[in-house]
Amino acid sequence: MISTLIVVLCLIIGSVNHVIYGIQNTLKEDLELEKQLKLINKPPIKSIYTEFGDIVDCIDINKQPAFDHPLLKNHKLQRKPNFGKTSVKTSPARSIFGLDKDKCPLGTVPIRRTTKDDLIREKSLLNDHMIMTQKAPGIHVAEVSLKSRFGPYYGVNGTNSIYNPKLDRTDQITLSNLWVQNGQGDAGNKISVGWHVLPYLYGNDATHFYSTWTSDNYKKTGCYNIRCPGFVQTSKGYYPGARAPNTSTYGGIMIEVELSISQDPVTKNWWFQWNGINVGYFPAALFSNLASADQVGWGGRTRPPPGTPSPPMGSGHFPDYNIVHACYFTFVSYRDASGKNHGPEVNQIKTFTDNSDCYGVKYYGYIPKPNVGHVLQFGGPGGNCGN
């Protein structure tokens, strides 16, 4: 009788399916996911239910997931960078990614709670960081970057308009970002931050703020937001993965966010600021080759499944010099070794798009009127782009 029960139990474990977004999961895999969730979701001091149905846990700042990384075992928390805030420009309307009124208590940081369904959807993303690598099949790019011979670089800034491109499939990705990078191939170390629409990560087609990092061109390291240990949060109100409550309207009101990645001159950690607020940092210990950056840049990327049409990028419209049409970065600048920010000259930049029928990118340089600093636009409708 006991032997029969064991056999039946094994059959159940091997055959019961949990299906999310068309992804099947056995009971045995579910048990493994439960173990992962216990490691990912730390005991909260307080939990906040957002207007979008997410649960945000306020975690002791010294017990956040970042410190599970073996390279950060003896890491000393840095509360603030050894430089001031980036200068925040005036905006028609700024987006609040994060907690508005109900912030986490002092000494804690907000972390979006991970669910079992989140982990199941991420199965398709676990070993798929192609959206980050320029030469991977299916990736479409429209970007502006600085030539390495004008480096090294120690930071990048820009004010980015936020949109919600409509996807036809849940397995598509579209994003806008700025980044710092050093090295090529498996030696590629990179940090990027911005906004994206990625249903497989969040279970919805909304626009979310995100961050990524890698020390080997996403071969074995790096992930979105805090899905793996690494990024150290310091803000009690802002967090990676937060949803945008409002987005821009073509020809209408622009909703935007100022983004900045800057290296601390003392600790060499790479700090991320958002509208001048310190969200957190990527510790220098995570990287094999990011004492400085040989490339910084701005722009958009998309990825559809192989053999399918590509989704829109940005506003879904090509650059046309009209600031309320295509997605933009205004006030773009880079930081040099002295800690000073500079707007790129036209001879310092290179633009790249892999398919001009689907997406475009234009760098306009300095525009004095209206006061938008150095400006670029990118984006397009997508379609049959030859992926």
State pLDDT tens for residues 117-126: 888 877 666 5
Output the CA–CA distances (angstroms, integers) from residue 66 to 105, 113, 116, 230, 289, in the order listed.
19, 15, 20, 5, 20
Provide the pLDDT for residue 8: 41
Q: Locate all alpha helices (DSSP H) within the chain, ordered by sequence.
A: 2-15, 27-40, 116-121, 199-202
DSSP state of 243: B
Going by pLDDT thresholds of 50, 70 and 90, the confidence category of residue 12 is very low
H or E element in which residue 196 lies: strand 189-197
The whole-number pLDDT of residue 16 equals: 42
Give yes or no for residue 279 having a pLDDT over 50.
yes
pLDDT of residue 333: 97
Least confident among 9-13, 94-98, 306-310? 9-13
Task: Tell me the two tokens of residue 187.
Answer: 């030696």
Angle, vertex CA 95, rays to CA 322 and CA 63, nearest 5: 140
Q: For the segment 290-312, what is each residue's pLDDT rounded down to a tens digit?
A: 999 999 999 999 998 888 999 99
Average pLDDT over residues 255-262: 96
What would the mean pLDDT of 108-135 be, rounded to a whole number? 72
Q: CB within 8 A of 109, min separation 6: which ones?
A: 58, 59, 61, 64, 233, 234, 235, 236, 239, 280
The span from the CA of 104 to the CA of 231, in Å, is 18
Identify the DSSP state of 348: G
Half-sphere CA count of 74, side-chain side, radius 13 A: 0
Look at residue 183 and tell me if it is in a domain.
yes
Average pLDDT for 235-244: 92
Is 2 inside a domain boundary?
A: no
Residue 135: what pLDDT?
58
User: What band does 35 get if pLDDT is binned at 50, 70 and 90?
Assistant: confident
Number of domains in the chain: 1
User: Is there a domain that residue 10 lies in?
Assistant: no
Residue-wise pLDDT for 335-383, tens only, equals: 999 999 999 999 999 999 999 999 999 999 999 888 899 999 999 999 9
Q: Is residue 368 part of a domain?
A: yes
Report pLDDT for 343. Answer: 96
pLDDT of 134 strictly over 90: no
**Residue carrying structure tokens 């991420």:** 122
Confidence of residue 131 (pLDDT cuts 50, 70, 90): low
Model pLDDT, residue 310 = 94
According to DSSP, the residues that pair with 174 across neighbouring strands are 197, 302
- Say whether pLDDT at 166 is over 80: yes
In the chain, count H helices and then E strands: 4, 21
Distances (CA, A) of 60 to 46, 54, 188, 321, 380: 10, 19, 32, 46, 42
- The yes-or-no verdict on residue 48 having pLDDT over 70 is yes
Q: Which tokens belong to 100?
A: 């508005």
**Residue 220 — φ and ψ, nearest 5°?**
-130, -15
Q: What is the dihedral of CA 81, 181, 320, 302, to 10 degrees?
A: -110
The rounded distance, in Å, linking the Cα atoms of 350 and 134 is 15
Q: What is residue 124's DSSP assignment?
A: G
CB atoms within 10 A of CB 70: 7
Average pLDDT over residues 318-338: 96
pLDDT at 6: 45
Task: Read off the tokens for 67.
Answer: 């410190």
Helices (H), 41-182: 116-121
Name the least confident of 37-41, 91-95, 181-185.
91-95
pLDDT of residue 19: 54
What rounded mean pLDDT belongs to the chain?
A: 87
Residues 6+ apart with CB under 8 A from 63: 42
6 belongs to a structural domain: no
59 or 185: which carries more pLDDT confidence?
Answer: 59
The pLDDT value recorded for residue 94 is 55
Q: Decide: 234 and 224 in contact? Cβ < 8 Å.
A: no
Asked if the structure places residue 9 within a domain, the reply is no
- Which of 197, 231, 229, 236 shows the shortest CA–CA distance to 211? 231
Q: Is residue 269 part of a domain?
A: yes
Instruction: Name the percent of the chain lying above pLDDT 90.
Output: 64
Q: What is the pLDDT of residue 124?
A: 62
Q: Please answer whether residues 155 and 265 qualify as being in contact, where contact means their C-beta atoms are separated by less than 8 angstroms.
A: no
Cα gap 46→19, rounded to integer Å: 31
Band the pLDDT of 226: cuts 50, 70, 90. Answer: confident
Q: Which of 95, 260, 241 is nearest to 161 (CA)?
A: 95
Amino acid at 100: D
Range of the structural domain that residue 24 is part of: 20-379
